[in-house]
Structure 1
Amino acid sequence: MNENIPSFTGIYSLFEQFGSINKIEKDCPIFHEGERSDEVYFVLEGSVRITKDTESGRLFTLKITGSQCIIGETTVFCETVYHSVSAHTIEPTKIIALSRFQLEKFLTSSPELMMEWMKVIQLNHLKNETRFRDLLLHGKKGALFSTLVRLSNTYGILQEDGSIIIDHHLTNQEIANLCATSREVVNRMLNDIKKSGVITLNKGLITIHDINFLRKEIECDHCPLQICRID
């Protein structure tokens, strides 16, 4: 487990003891927006893309979750029992599915588990809040720079020269979906900072050479690493 991800051992034990393990192939749905939410999921292995469809037909990627993440959690203790987002696997993925009703029952019977669950929800809320702040305050540029910083914190490998390789393949369209903008806009902005030496692109991998430039441009608040992530 990544040392920057909090360990929610009590919640995980619920999934482990009472959930069912499912293996899902690459590019397959776990659930669709608008479907009834009867289960909550814990990602054991692999990665999942959480997306939201807009009225215009465009796709907005809210996050890319990796192992040790919970998805489908937004309807727990909520009168709305339909998924507000969709979830698709990016690679072969193993998840544990637990009944939403059963999870609610366990949480209400244990103050300790309820407190741990509240921390899960609060952490997810803070991640979303800081992402939307960058988008609202700095527009498309802020969304892209914020996404690159978050990708580096989630998948980055620090090199001896201080550069950071984002060890996760993303197309420009996928980056655009994370930024709620078009591929053409992302292409232009990536080329601009590439010419400035801030990043280099090689076979689908991004290397960041000047992370401080990106942070300065979005007036980075230097949030804890468990918040400034893409998952």
Structure 2
Amino acid sequence: MMMQTNTQFPSNLIQLLNNSQYMKKTEKGTFLFQEDELANELFVIISGKVQISKMIPDGRELTIRMCKEGDLIGEVPLFDQPQKYMLNAKVIENGQVAVFDKQELEKKLGENHQLALEFMKWLNHQYRKNQTKFRDLVLNGKKGALYSTLIRLSNSYGEPCEKGIFITIPITNQELANFCGTSREVVNRMLSELRKQNIITIDKSYITIHDLNYLKVEIDCENCPIEICNID
């Protein structure tokens, strides 16, 4: 079965993975992997959605990524001693994934240096994306974390509409709080303030952003490329 992926994933790596995979159905509420399990497989999402998260010592959950079709997930350190997963991958929408064995992938990359280079470039791209997310959390505080999350949502799932940008997926206040590494109560207050200022409106968990520039100015947005500034 040939997979379809987003344009961020190099075409020659797609061919490599197509030759190394088996398919697995995924059900909402289950995990592809969890923290402290042995990391010996990578996954490419064929359909559905998967949430990547980290449990904070105080019991809160920090959502790192919300992955969809074409995304590669699994923090497997290649060409290294066996390691454990540091994050959780929870299925939030039924679908299917392609599964790749760590040793088989190492073998193929070792045989083809050009593919290995492409894979390293792709991993570096993922590192940059994660680095900017943690920058927003650390440097801009809780407000900056929420505002940057809304900006990323607009880049990933936003559609222009008469009143601004409509986020096409529903997202709860608790889910926003998880992206920000804070409590739902804190997010409730910040969202309420944004609604009072008519920066956003929320209807049945669907958000419309009326003034995206306000959010960017408030956090001194660096206008990173959309392929870096997204929620995936």
For residues 78 and 228 of structure 1, what CA distance do their matches in structure 2 show?
30
SS in 1 for 2:154: helix
SS in 1 for 2:156: helix
- Which amino acid is the alignment partner of residue 164 of structure 1? I
| TM-score, with structure 1 as normaliser | 0.94
Identity of aligned residues (%): 41
Within 5 Å, which residues of 2 pair with 1:32-181?
Answer: 32-79=34-81, 81-161=83-163, 163-181=164-182
Could you give the per-residue CA deviations for residues 17-42 of structure 1, whole angstroms, max 9, x where no partner exists? 22001111112111111000111111
CA contact (8 A) 2:13 2:115 kept: yes
Within 5 Å, which residues of 2 pair with 1:164-203?
Answer: 164-203=165-204
* Deviation >2 Å, runs of 4+: 73-80
Q: Which residue of the partner structure matches residue 209 of structure 1?
A: 210
For residues 170 and 77 of structure 2, what CA distance do their matches in structure 1 show?
31
Mark the runs of 5 or more structure 1 residues left unpaired by the alignment: none
SS in 1 for 2:198: coil
For residues 74 and 139 of structure 1, what CA distance do their matches in structure 2 show?
30
Structure 1 vs Structure 2 CA RMSD: 1.5
Give the total of aligned pairs: 229
1:203–1:213 Cα change, 3 Å: same
**By percentage of residues, which structure has more strand?**
2
Structure 1 residue 65, shift from structure 2 partner: 0.7
1:210–1:20 Cα change, 3 Å: same
Query: Which stretch shows the higher mean deviation, 78-87 or 118-127?
Result: 78-87
1:209–1:78 Cα change, 3 Å: farther
CA contact (8 A) 2:40 2:82 kept: no
Query: Which stretch shows the higher mean deviation, 71-80 or 137-146?
Result: 71-80
CA contact (8 A) 1:60 1:179 kept: yes
1:203–1:116 Cα change, 3 Å: same
The structure 1 residue matched to 2:30, chosen from 28, 31, 38, is 28
SS in 1 for 2:99: strand
Structure 1 residue 76, shift from structure 2 partner: 2.5
CA contact (8 A) 1:15 1:97 kept: no
For residues 176 and 30 of structure 1, what CA distance do their matches in structure 2 show?
23
| TM-score, with structure 2 as normaliser | 0.94
Structure 1 residue 157, shift from structure 2 partner: 1.0
Structure 1 residue 160, shift from structure 2 partner: 4.0
SS in 2 for 1:46: strand
Could you give the per-residue CA deviations for residues 201-226 of structure 1, whole angstroms, max 9, x where no partner exists? 00110000111111111111111110
